[in-house]
């Protein structure tokens, strides 16, 4: 099958899951390419903003062909930016069809705005489109701004959901979470994001009685990730259970002055090692040197770092926002959100399991989220959608 991927955002603004799923589909024998339109921010990436190319150009990422184009975002003009971005995607899709022919399937990542743009492209060419939804309610609400449920965006995004051949939330809980805005009048099937379980492979951790108990957290330093609660939980654990505990943190902003101030406020100087933003090799190295990962998050759909950690063979501790698909028995321990004492208790349980089997936990992650598993699930879904799609069902723009 010929599949065209359309991400809502793309590196350097995240969106690596698009490449991961593309690789998973290629491994199943499909022809997969990406058109990536970047809404470039002058504040976040000033150098990219200045040299942004409005003409599409080709790059290759992890073996996946990408047609890429950049649009300079206009500050405070979100509605205009969304329209401009969708028009850019449509132009790129036209150029793609001229070069490679019409794809069998459009696969959008996140409804805002790739899902909506995919609907417009699909209607023009008479092909089905599906939307994989990755974003939690909190990020959708941030995009709605002060208008909230009255935002101009909601009718457009709801239409894209309802007309999709299939909506694919990465966790089933997302359907109810977004229902106040988008309803449920659409077809959906949950499929996990993919992680590289070969890269994040199982590794035995030898336990030495005199060595520090190393716990880690890999997350950007933003309020939603709950570092304030994490530090309080680690401080409580140190006071109650283990004075020899150490915490390694990594992610954008974790090496900032503000982070150092937060560490000092929690009397964790010398306990917390902040490594800043690291690459995937750096993430794996941290996981291989840790006995547990903690994420005190306040809002997620499917935090992949939990799957990556369990894939390497260590347990994880997180909050009630973790979806059921990640709550592997013996591998994932769930405490109350914004409750350091609860997370401290769960950390003790995770580290003192009498019969923990990290290899079995790793195998369960592979069954759910490996490239092979996700690729097969998406392949079956896409083939079923394509086999039942009738071009005359496409709606007029």
Instruction: CATH number of the domain at 49, please.
Output: 3.40.50.2000
Question: Do 169 and 225 lie in a common domain?
Answer: no
Question: Do 232 and 322 lie in a common domain?
Answer: yes
Structural domain that includes position 142 = 2-194+371-393
Question: Do 36 and 77 lie in a common domain?
Answer: yes
Question: Can you give the pTM of this predicted structure?
Answer: 0.90
User: What would the mean pLDDT of 150-159 be, rounded to a whole number?
Assistant: 93
User: What would the mean pLDDT of 130-151 be, rounded to a whole number?
Assistant: 86
Whole-number pLDDT of residue 396: 39
Q: Which residue has the higher pLDDT, 312 or 148?
A: 312
Q: CA distances (Å), 54 to each of 51, 106, 133, 297, in order?
A: 10, 22, 27, 37
User: What would the mean pLDDT of 361-374 be, rounded to a whole number?
Assistant: 97
Question: Do 352 and 380 lie in a common domain?
Answer: no
Question: Do 286 and 343 lie in a common domain?
Answer: yes
Asked whether residue 119 carries a pLDDT value surpassing 80, the answer given is yes
Question: Do 241 and 108 lie in a common domain?
Answer: no
Measured at the CA of 231, the angle between CA 264 and CA 312, to 5 degrees, comes to: 125
Asked whether residue 395 carries a pLDDT value surpassing 70, the answer given is no
Residues of 161-192 as b/e, b for ≥16 C-beta within 10 angstroms?
A: bbbbbbbbbbbebbbebbeebbeeebebbbbb
pLDDT (tens digit per residue) in 182-201: 999 999 999 999 999 999 99
Tell me the CB-side half-sphere exposure of residue 119, using CA atoms within 13 A.
Answer: 22
Question: Do 385 and 344 lie in a common domain?
Answer: no
Count of domains observed in the chain? 2
Asked whether residue 108 carries a pLDDT value surpassing 50, the answer given is yes
Task: Decide if 207 is inside a domain.
Answer: no
Question: Do 317 and 352 lie in a common domain?
Answer: yes
Instruction: Answer yes or no: are the C-beta atoms of 322 and 300 closer than 8 Å.
Output: yes
Asked whether residue 86 carries a pLDDT value surpassing 80, the answer given is yes
Question: Do 38 and 61 lie in a common domain?
Answer: yes
User: What would the mean pLDDT of 287-301 be, rounded to a whole number?
Assistant: 95
Whole-number pLDDT of residue 392: 54
- Name every residue whose Cβ is closer than 8 Å to that of residue 155 and which is 6 or more positions away in sequence: none
Instruction: Answer yes or no: are the C-beta atoms of 280 and 199 closer than 8 Å.
Output: yes
Paired with 273 in beta bridges are 248
Task: Decide if 200 is inside a domain.
Answer: no
Length of the chain in terms of residues written: 397
Task: Decide if 301 is inside a domain.
Answer: yes
Rounded to whole angstroms, how far apart are CA atoms 178 and 297? 19
Whole-number pLDDT of residue 394: 46
Task: Decide if 258 is inside a domain.
Answer: yes
Question: Do 165 and 226 lie in a common domain?
Answer: no
Asked whether residue 391 carries a pLDDT value surpassing 80, the answer given is no
Share of the chain above pLDDT 90, in %: 84
- Name every residue whose Cβ is closer than 8 Å to that of residue 8 and which is 6 or more positions away in sequence: 15, 108, 109, 110, 111, 112, 113, 114, 115
Which band of pLDDT confidence, cut at 50, 70 and 90, is reported for residue 219? Answer: very high
By C-alpha distance, which of 198, 201, 170 is closest to 310?
A: 201
pLDDT (tens digit per residue) in 325-350: 999 999 999 999 999 999 999 999 99
Share of the chain above pLDDT 70, in %: 98
Could you tell me where the beta strands, DSSP code E, fall in the chain? Answer: 2-7, 31-40, 57-61, 64-72, 105-109, 129-133, 166-169, 213-218, 245-250, 272-274, 292-294, 316-319, 332-335
Instruction: Answer yes or no: are the C-beta atoms of 220 and 207 closer than 8 Å.
Output: no
Instruction: Indicate the average pLDDT of the chain.
Output: 94
Task: Decide if 30 is inside a domain.
Answer: yes
Asked whether residue 14 carries a pLDDT value surpassing 90, the answer given is no
Task: Decide if 206 is inside a domain.
Answer: no
Rounded to whole angstroms, how far apart are CA atoms 70 and 370? 31
Task: Decide if 172 is inside a domain.
Answer: yes
Residue 145, sorted as left (phi over 0), alpha (psi -120 to 50) or beta, turns out to be left
Question: Do 21 and 165 lie in a common domain?
Answer: yes
Task: Decide if 221 is inside a domain.
Answer: yes
Whole-number pLDDT of residue 207: 73
Whole-number pLDDT of residue 208: 67
Question: Do 19 and 137 lie in a common domain?
Answer: yes
């Amino acid at each position: 099958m010929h599949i065209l991927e359309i991400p809502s955002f793309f590196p350097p603004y995240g969106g690596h899951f698009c490449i991961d799923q593309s690789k998973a589909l290629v491994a199943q024998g499909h022809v997969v390419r990406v058109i990536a339109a970047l809404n470039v921010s002058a504040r976040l990436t000033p150098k990219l903003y200045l040299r942004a190319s409005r003409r599409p150009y080709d790059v290759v990422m992890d073996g996946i062909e990408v047609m890429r184009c950049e649009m300079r975002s206009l500050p405070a003009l979100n509605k205009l930016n969304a329209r401009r971005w969708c028009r850019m995607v449509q132009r790129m899709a036209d150029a793609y069809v001229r070069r490679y022919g019409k794809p069998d399937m459009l696969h959008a990542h996140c409804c805002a705005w790739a899902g909506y743009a995919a609907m417009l492209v699909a209607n023009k060419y008479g092909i089905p489109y599906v939307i994989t939804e990755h974003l939690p309610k909190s990020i959708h609400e941030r995009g709605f701004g002060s208008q909230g449920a009255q935002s101009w965006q909601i009718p457009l995004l709801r239409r894209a959901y309802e007309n999709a051949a299939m909506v694919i939330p990465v966790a089933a809980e997302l359907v109810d979470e977004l229902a106040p805005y988008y309803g449920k009048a659409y077809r959906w099937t949950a499929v996990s994001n993919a992680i590289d379980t070969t890269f994040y492979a199982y590794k035995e951790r030898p336990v030495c009685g005199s060595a520090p108990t190393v716990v880690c957290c890999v997350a950007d330093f933003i309020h939603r990730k709950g570092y304030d609660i994490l530090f309080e939980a680690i401080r409580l654990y140190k006071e109650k259970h283990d004075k020899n505990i150490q915490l390694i943190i990594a992610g954008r902003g974790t090496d900032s002055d503000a982070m150092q101030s937060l560490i000092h406020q929690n009397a964790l100087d010398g306990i917390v090692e902040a490594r800043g933003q690291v690459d995937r090799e750096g993430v794996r190295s941290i996981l291989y040197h840790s006995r547990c990962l903690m994420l005190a998050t306040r809002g997620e759909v499917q935090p992949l770092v939990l799957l990556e950690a369990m894939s390497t063979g260590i347990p994880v501790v997180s909050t009630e926002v973790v979806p059921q698909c990640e709550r592997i028995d013996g591998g994932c321990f769930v405490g109350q959100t914004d409750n350091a004492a609860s997370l401290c208790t769960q950390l003790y349980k995770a580290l003192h399991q009498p019969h923990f089997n990290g290899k079995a936990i790793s195998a369960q992650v592979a069954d759910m989220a490996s490239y092979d598993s996700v690729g097969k699930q998406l392949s079956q879904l896409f083939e079923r959608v394509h086999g039942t799609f009738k071009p005359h069902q496409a709606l007029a723009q």
